[in-house]
Structure 1
Amino acid sequence: MLALDTMRSLADRGEVIALEAGQVLFKAGDVGESMYGILEGSIRLTWLDDLGHEGHEDIPCGHVFGAGALVMEGHQRLGTATATVDSRLIEMNRDKFLFAVQESPMFAIQLLASVDERLRDLKQAEL
C-alpha cells in the first residue's frame, strides 16, 4: 500500500510514537495539531453521539486518523484514540504532511481513499 510505504519512509526521518495496548493517544476535546498514520497495530476511536450513545471505529494499519487537525485552527478532537494492541504511529503535522504530498502526490489520493473507505464502512455499520 503506497500510503503505508510513504508513512514508513517518513518514519525513518521522523518521530514514531509507540503505544501499548490500552494506552490513550488523545481524548475527545483535546486540541490537536497533527494527524497520525498507523505503521503497526490498530487504534480504536470512540465518541458519544448526540443522544449520549457510544460509537467506535477500529482503524487498522496503513490508515490515518485525526486529519481535521491539519485543516482547522484550534481543532478539538471529536473522539478518544486508544491503542487496541501494541502499536506504532507516525505523527504528521501540517509541514510533514505537505512534504509527504510533495514527495509522493499519490499519498494524498491514497489518504482520501482511506478516509472514504472508513466512512463507507461506518455508514454500512449504521444500517
Structure 2
Amino acid sequence: MSSGALIQKFGKELSAGTVLFKDGDTGKQMFVIQKGKIKISKQIDGKEKVLALLPAGEFFGEMAILNNEPRMATATVEEDCLLLVIDTKTFESMIRGNTEIALRMIKKLAQRLKEAGEQIENMLIKDNNSKVISTLAKMGENEGTQTETGIVVKATAKDLALKTGLEPDTVSEILNKVVKAKLINIQPNSITISDVTKLRKFLDFLTLKEQFGDF
C-alpha cells in the first residue's frame, strides 16, 4: 500500500495539546508519527516525568496491543501532528505478513529498553548540572548527527527540561555554563556538542565533585 493510501485509510490529524491516551487507559490501537512530535510522560511523585519526545518516523502505543494490558504512560501531542492509527487486527496482519516490520519493531523495543535504563540512572543523579549534561551527552550518542563542527542534537532547553524534570530557566542557565566552557554551542532548534569525549570528562568531574565535595 502506498504512503498516500495509508494516510487516507489510517491517517488522523491532531492539534498540539491533544491527549491521545492516559496512563492506565485500556488500548486497542498503536500509532505511527508521520508529522509532528508526541510527548510520552508519566506522573512520578506528583510531578510529570517525560519519558520520551517522539519525532516523525517513530511509533508508540504498541505495548497495549502486544500484552493486552493498560497503557503504561500518557501520550500528548507536543506539536501538531499527522498519525497513522493502527488497530489490533491490522497490526497483527502487518506483523504476520512482513518479517521486516517485525524485526524493526524488535530492534526499536530493544533500544527503548536501553533508554529506559539510562533514564532510571539519570533519575538517581541529584546534581542538576550533572543531570542536564548526562542527558545531553546520551542524546548526542544515541540520536546526534555528526558534522564538521561536532555532534548536532535536535533539542532545545525546553526539551531537556522535559526530559530531566527541571525548570527550563534552570536548564538554560546550566547550558550557558557549558557554552562558556566551550563544550557546546546553542542554535535556535539544536545544540552542537563540540566534543562528546570532553563533555563526558566534564561530567565525570562533576560526579566526583558531588561525591567528595570541594577540597
Please state which band the TM-score falls in when normalised by the shorter chain.
Answer: 0.7 to 0.9
User: In the alignment, which of 78, 81, 86 is matched to residue 92 of structure 1?
Assistant: 86
1:118 aligns with 2:90: no
- Matched residue of 1:101: which SS? helix
Q: How far apart are 1:107 and its partner, in Å?
A: 0.4
Structure 1 counterpart of 2:48: 54
Q: How far apart are 1:12 and its partner, in Å?
A: 4.1
Matches within 5 A, 1:35-114: 35-49=30-44, 51-56=45-50, 57-73=52-68, 75-114=69-108
Q: How far apart are 1:63 and its partner, in Å?
A: 1.8
* Alignment partners' CA distance in 1, 2:2 and 2:79: 19
Say if 2:29 and 2:61, in contact at 8 Å, map to a contact too. yes
Say if 2:7 and 2:84, in contact at 8 Å, map to a contact too. no
Q: Which protein, 1 or 2, shows the higher relative CO under an 8 Å CA cutoff with sep ≥ 6?
A: 1
Q: How far apart are 1:96 and its partner, in Å?
A: 0.8
Say if 2:12 and 2:84, in contact at 8 Å, map to a contact too. yes
Identity of aligned residues (%): 26
Alignment TM-score, normalising by the size of structure 2: 0.49
- Matched residue of 2:64: which SS? helix
Q: Number of paired residues? A: 120
Q: How far apart are 1:122 and its partner, in Å?
A: 3.0
Which of the pair is proportionally richer in helix?
Answer: 2
Q: How far apart are 1:126 and its partner, in Å?
A: 3.2
The structure whose Rg is larger is: 2
* Alignment partners' CA distance in 1, 2:2 and 2:24: 26
Residue by residue over 1:88-110, the C-alpha shift from the partner in whole angstroms, topping out at 9 and shown as x without a partner, is 11111221112222332110111
* Alignment partners' CA distance in 2, 1:10 and 1:66: 22
Structure 2 counterpart of 1:14: 9
Alignment TM-score, normalising by the size of structure 1: 0.78
**Larger displacement relative to structure 2 (80-89 or 60-69):** 60-69
Unaligned runs of 5+ in 2: 122-215
One-letter identity of the residue aligned with 2:62: A
Computed over aligned residues only, the root mean square deviation of the Cα atoms, in angstroms, reads 2.4
The alpha-carbon distance between structure 1 residues 9 and 103, as it changes in their structure 2 partners (threshold 3 A), is farther
